[in-house]
Amino acid sequence: MPPILPSDLNRYAATCKTSGALVEPIPRAQDQRGPTCGLFALSIVLEHWYERLARGGHTPAVRPLPARKHAQAVPHEEKAPKTGTPGSLRGLAKKSNLTIIGELWRAPEMVQLADAAGYKGKVVRTDSGKPDRENLTALLRTLLGQQFLCIVGFDVNSSNNYQVHQQAGDPGKHTGNHAHWAVVFGYWARKGVTFWLATHWNSYYGWPAKDLLESNVQLNRWEKGGNWEKERREVKSGFLWFRTTTVEGAEFSAPGTRKNPTKTKYLPNTDLDMRDLAVVIYPDDPSVAAPAA
C-alpha cells in the first residue's frame, strides 16, 4: 500500500479509535539517514513519551536524544549534565558497544540502549500457549490496547526490490537481508481483517496484519556484511553529512556524487533477533506501568 497522505492520517486514526486501538499522541515521523532504522524507531518512541508525559503534567527533566546529531538540535540546557554524554542515540549506542555504524539487529540491544538513555524497555515475545500472544498479530493488538507503541521488525521493500502488488516501504520477504524496524501505533479491523497503522522512513503506512506477520516470521539472517565506507555527501539544503554505504554499490547511498570518502568499517554477517516479538519502550516514571503482556 502507498504511504498514507498527511491529509488522510486523521481519518485513519479515527478508524482505529472506532474499530481497534490508537496510541496517542500520534508519533511524529522522522527522516532516517543511513542504516539506522532501529535508532530512529527508538527516537520516535522516546519523543512520543516526552510529549505524552508533558500533556499529563509529568514532563521529564531531560529531552530525549535525537537518533543522530543531524536529526534535530538539542538545546544545551536540555542535554544530560554528565560530562562526555553523547549527543545522539547513535553516539550512545557506539559508546555502549551496541553498534558499529548505527545498525541494531537484536531486540535486546534496543532495550539496552533505551536503558542507557534513561528509559525502561521490554522485549515481548509471542507465546503459542497464550491467546493474547499466540502470534505477532495477537501480541501487537494486546500491546496497542494497553497504549504502548510497538517497535517491530520486518523486511522492507525498497525502490528496487519490491514484488508485484507491493510498494516501496511495505513489508516484503528477503530472508532478513532488508531487515528493518518500524513503529506500530494503531490498528483497525474490517470484515475480520486487522490492519496496522505504522511509521518509518518519515511516512505513515497502513498494512494488512498478514503482510507484516509473513515478513516478520521469515527474518533469519542479515548477509550483507563486508567493508562499509563512510562518505561525505551534500543534500539539497547544502547541509553536509556523513553517509555509510556498501563499497560494492551504495545500496544506502544518497543522490549525488561521492565526496571525501573517509574510514571503512567491517560489518559481519549476523543472525537476527527480530522475529516473533515486539520491543516496548516506556519511561521510568511512576505514572507509567510496565506492559502486562
Per the domain annotation, does 127 fall within a domain?
yes
Using the structure block, give the residue that is written with the C-alpha cell 539472517: 221
State the pLDDT at residue 265. 81
Q: With 50 as the cut, is the pLDDT of residue 80 above it?
A: no
Per the domain annotation, does 40 fall within a domain?
yes
Q: With 50 as the cut, is the pLDDT of residue 239 above it?
A: no
Question: 94: helix, coil or strand?
Answer: helix
Q: With 60 as the cut, is the pLDDT of residue 74 above it?
A: no
The helix (run of H) or strand (run of E) holding residue 112 is: helix 107-116
Q: What are the beta bridge partners of residue 240?
A: 234
Please check whether residues 197 and 239 belong to one and the same domain.
Answer: no
pLDDT tens-digit profile of 101-113?
A: 899 999 999 999 9
State the Cα–Cα distance between residues 165 and 59, nearest whole angstrom. 44
State the pLDDT at residue 228. 73
pTM of the model: 0.86
**Which domain, by its residues, includes 131?**
6-222+274-283
Please check whether residues 60 and 127 belong to one and the same domain.
Answer: yes
> Domain tally for the chain?
2
Check if the beta carbon of residue 62 is closer than 8 Å to that of residue 78: yes
First to last CA, the chain: 30
Look up residue 39 and give its amino acid: L
Rg (CA), the chain: 19
Look up residue 245 and give its amino acid: T
